[in-house]
């Protein structure tokens, strides 16, 4: 199991009260709810970065669209 570390978080008192109610409704603690939310944010960021790398690699590679450069201007304008 990984080591847990405490942090200090400053929230508006009204927001904190609503967060406590929300956590209670979900049957969890504020700490567990925030930890899950932060883990999801980090996971989403990692997935986004991986998708961005794959997309950039595909763009560098390009797609074969079957284009063949015409040998002359006349061939280009043939119908």
Residue 63 CB: number of other CB atoms within 10 A? Answer: 7
Q: Is the pLDDT of residue 16 over 80?
A: yes
Mean pLDDT within 7-19: 96
pTM of the predicted protein model: 0.62
Domain ranges of the chain: 13-62
Q: Note the pLDDT tens digit of each residue in 28-67.
A: 999 999 999 999 999 999 999 999 999 999 899 888 888 8
pLDDT at position 76: 74
Measured in degrees and rounded to the nearest 5, phi and psi for residue 71 equal: -80, -20
Distance separating alpha carbons of residues 75 and 10, to the nearest angstrom: 71
């Amino acid at each position: 199991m990984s080591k847990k570390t405490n942090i200090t978080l400053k929230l508006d008192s009204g927001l904190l009260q609503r967060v406590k109610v929300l956590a209670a409704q979900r049957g969890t603690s504020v700490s567990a709810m925030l930890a899950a939310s932060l883990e999801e944010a980090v996971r989403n960021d990692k997935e986004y970065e991986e998708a961005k790398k794959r997309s950039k690699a595909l763009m560098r590679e390009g797609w074969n669209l079957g284009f063949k450069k015409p040998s002359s201007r006349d061939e280009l304008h043939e119908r």
